[in-house]
Structure 1
């Protein structure tokens, strides 16, 4: 479980990104966070693995007080949380499988990770992860030979190879064309349903959030203004989150 108790986040420049957030997310949920740029979506998402440490309140993840973690304990905690980024964050000049295997580095002795001496079990796990996202046939291709959608699938496979309990995805389809974006979102759904991994996605694409997530959280000026099933998101809710009605084009990417 992820539990925010009156959480706030104020950056050094004085910007208040989160303002008294109270929120609970159960294991196995698929949640989309929507809102305008600067509303606090990324801060909310990245506070979960302490990429953006909170400045007030309490944040409990799987029974651990995130604010109390540092050094070795924080690194160990982060192993249970996978992260998928908009920019894929792949090593483009190496193979797909080597990119996926980097997820296992934290579990290896330093000399083996330096030399790339992965175990048979890790290699099989990496291949299985690639199979789960439908690109096993690309395992020994260079990452820079793949399309954007395929590269994001590699990033998702790398995340799965980490064996996480939670996946955080920060605008994972923002740079993809609409058809590919739908395919990648379908991969997230399949993984969530098959593995019971909690998936939390931060999105500008309102239409995708409503079509693929079971629960939607709307954030405005650092505060939660809507939290409920995607089926309950209507024009009134969108006006509350965005301050206005959205046309069809805006539903495909509100920034």
Structure 2
């Protein structure tokens, strides 16, 4: 490797990594936390089979899952100003990523809720629990354990999807890489470098996912 290229990569590494730690990961984690709230609410609405609300939930999932994330970002950031609604780049990214991930995670949560045996709900009612108590103490804990692996995959995918926020000028690490590329006119090495950092983040999250799955499996064996 040419010495000047090596120096460029060494110099650019912290300039890419720091935005990743300051913007990319917080953006992903905050968006995912909000998405979980949305997903749980939408899944519970479908699970309870409330007629009108269920149709609204299905419509939300249909629209969000049927349109590209990049288009959703553009609609909110560049389209809403036509109606007098102007949002800064970072809040726009959080909003769109949360809504997008919430739609996908809602289906995961719905399937997890439906996997809980009906007999356990009936047992809860028999001992005098209300519907909310049954959901909080019996159904949701089991559903969350079932949903943990696919939800973890959603988080890993979300970390990578944050790169699309560069298109609306969020200063995350892919945006930082693009700025370095535009100054230095070096493309492949720098894009490979940011790809390696994304891979590092994903690898750490995958390791944490496996650790969490082992702990949940151990807890299940203890209870069994």
State the TM-score, normalized to the length of structure 1.
0.23
Task: Give the structure with higher Rg (CA).
Answer: 2
